[in-house]
Amino acid sequence: MRSIGRYKSFAALLLCAFLLRAGAAVLVQQRLDRTPGRSFVIPGDAAGYWELGRRLAAGEAYAVHDPPRRAMRMPGFPLLLSGVMSVAGESFLVVRLVLALVGTAACLLVYALAREVADRSTALAATVLAAVSPPFIGFSVLVLSETLFAAAMLLSLLGLAKLWRVDRQGDGTRRTLALAAAAGGAVSLAVYVRPTWLLIAPAAAIALVAASRHKLRALAAAALLCVTALAVLAPWAVRNRVVTGHWVLTTLWVGPSLYDGLNPDATGDSDMSFFDRDALNQRLTEYEVDRHYRRKALEFVREHPGRTLELARAKLWRFWKPWPNAEQFQSLPAVTAVAAFFVPLMVLAIVGVWAHRRDARLLALCAAPVLYFSAVHTVFVSSLRYRLPGEYPLCILAAAGLMWFVRRRRSAQEQSTV
């Protein structure tokens, strides 16, 4: 009976998470409907994703703009949009409600990962944090890839956590290799949403070998993890070879994105006006444009090392800033809600790191993602939205810190009654 009660309580928690996100979906859509000519809160990226999803649903070529950019975005998020459009048409509200479900699934995955690396009490506390997080609720219903990426990332972290445990326990070669293949596939599913996650496969492979007491088996598992990750990405790479004439494992938008963060006019915020001003795509191929801006960004770093460091500091502040950077989120309620959640979350996460400083698996899987994203976005442009996926596993560290406080208090109370 107790287990049934726990199941009902957890189901109620997930239902609460969904209702909060569904309410946000309705409110966002109502507000946009009252603004003529506006369909998205963050128009640039959202409009591009929407167009790609619409084209996929209509059976058209996967490309946007003119001249067409065929490898500008990974296809994971547009595929989700196209699936919804194929069933419900181009309904913004239906898409937002489906994204609310994705956000709820991310909360469930927070629980699963926390249950794997910690205990049930910590997992429940982490799920509560994820369920009520104001930025998670708000961003879940925007037509952006962050929430889907967070869910896919959490799935890959769960696979890596299980692989780490099984390898340490010495549960057998067959099971270890099966989990390695599953983890590699999960990593690549996340890459299909956001290419940033690509480096995690080799990083996880190196960490596995370094931490394992069974080096030969760990080497085999690490190799299988990387091979599976490449195999899952192979269809996309082959497709890119066909349409661009080059083997491209992720996208051809890396160069412009890199130059966006490293150019004479850069501030740390995104400003792609140079792309339209240069109009290189009118005379160069998509591949050549990508390589051109990569070279220009590296030239800027070599010629302006001091300014590069200044920009890195500005981007770090934008990434870790407790309140939103974007102008459309500067209202007092939005700033207060985000800061009021993030500051205690960080304090509890730091306590969690200290309390579990000897638990390498917990720290690597729950702290490393947000630190990794922070490092990436000291190079590229930076904003709170790029931190959000990393905050999901950070909720587990914060919950671990909270439970440390709770258990210390209980222990003190028990001692005082003796």
Q: Consecutive sets of 10 residues in the chain, 418 residues long: mean pLDDT of each?
A: 74 97 97 91 92 97 94 98 97 98 98 97 97 97 97 98 88 89 98 97 95 91 97 98 97 97 96 95 96 98 98 97 85 92 97 95 96 97 96 98 92 73
Q: Which candidate, 157, 194, 196, 180, places its Cα nearest to that of 229?
A: 180
Taking Cα atoms as reference points, which of 174, 317, 195 lies closest to residue 249?
Answer: 195
Closest to 208 (Cα-Cα) out of 191, 236, 187: 187
Single-letter amino acid, residue 74: M
Q: Output the DSSP codes for 29-49.
A: HHHHHTSTT---SSHHHHHHH
pTM: 0.96
Give the pLDDT score at 5: 66
Rg of the chain over all Cα atoms, to the nearest angstrom: 22
- Please, what is the end-to-end C-alpha distance for the chain in angstroms? 33
Q: Which residue has the tokens 């009118």?
A: 282
Helix (H, G, I), strand (E, B) or coil at 290: helix
CA atoms of 409 and 390, how far apart (whole Å)? 29
Q: Name residue 69's beta-bridge partners.
A: 64
Q: Which residues contact 271 (CB under 8 A, 6 or more apart)?
A: 260, 265
pLDDT on residue 413: 78
Residue 410's pLDDT is what?
A: 85
The token pair that represents 114 in the structure block:
């926390």
Domain range list for the chain: 145-246
Structure token pair of residue 318 = 């934008």
Q: Does 68 sit behind a cis peptide bond, omega within 30 degrees of 0 on the bond before it? A: no
Alpha-carbon distance 304 to 264, whole Å?
Answer: 9
| Alpha-carbon distances of 226 from 162, 182, 231, 334, rounded to whole Å | 16, 11, 9, 41
* CA-closest candidate to residue 297, choices 269, 264, 259: 259
Question: 4, exposed or middle or buried, with CB in 10 Å at 0-12, 13-18, 19+?
Answer: exposed
Three-state helix/strand/coil letters over 293-328: HHHHHHHHHHHCHHHHHHHHHHHHHHHHCCCCCCHH
The neighbour count for residue 224, using CB atoms within 10 Å, is: 21
